[in-house]
Amino acid sequence: MLEISEQAPRFTLPDQTGKPVSLQGLLENGPLVLYFYPADFTPGCTREACAIRDLHGELVAAGLKVAGISPQGTESHQRFAEKYQLPFLLLSDVGKAVIVDYGVNGPLGFGVRRATFLIDQDGIIRDAVLADLRIGQHEEFIHQAIALQA
């Protein structure tokens, strides 16, 4: 996993509508909470996405953008976002290139590790958490990111 103070690897991935989204574009108006998750519609990932959805107003008020990345295709992301009314971008990394670049590929290349990064407007990782099964740690991390921006 990438370390604090490292440069975040640049990327361009399709969002849930198929529109290409770049890291540079996400950082245009402020810092980014970028989270990686294993799969749409799984119990843990649904819980995490809904927790972030519920914090979205606070994130926006703090000047933070949020995006999630997983290896499912855009159609799955679109269904997931619609079903749970997710107001943030879900990016599709089917080939897992970005997942590998951020060091969150699962053991032996299977799956994706659950990780969340706070990336500043210059593309520097300011904080990060890796907690595969402890979803509450990711929610705490986001609360701290919001507090840092306030």
Q: For the chain, give the mean pLDDT.
A: 95
Assess contact for 93 and 106: CB atoms under 8 A.
no
pTM for the whole structure: 0.95
Mean pLDDT of 81-102: 98
Q: Are 17 and 89 in contact (CB under 8 A)?
A: no
79: Cα separation from own chain's centroid: 17
The CATH class of the 12-149 domain is alpha beta
Going from N- to C-terminal start, the domains of the chain cover 12-149
Q: Would you name the residues annotated as active-site residues?
A: 45
In this prediction, residues 130-134 reach a mean pLDDT of 83
- Pairing of the two strands 12-14 and 125-130: unpaired
Give the residue, 138 or 33, on which the prediction is more confident: 33
Least confident span in 10-14, 17-21, 144-148 = 144-148
Instruction: Give the pLDDT score at 144.
Output: 94
The model's confidence at residue 108, banded by pLDDT at 50, 70 and 90, is confident
Within 13 Å and on the Cβ side, how many CA atoms surround 106?
12
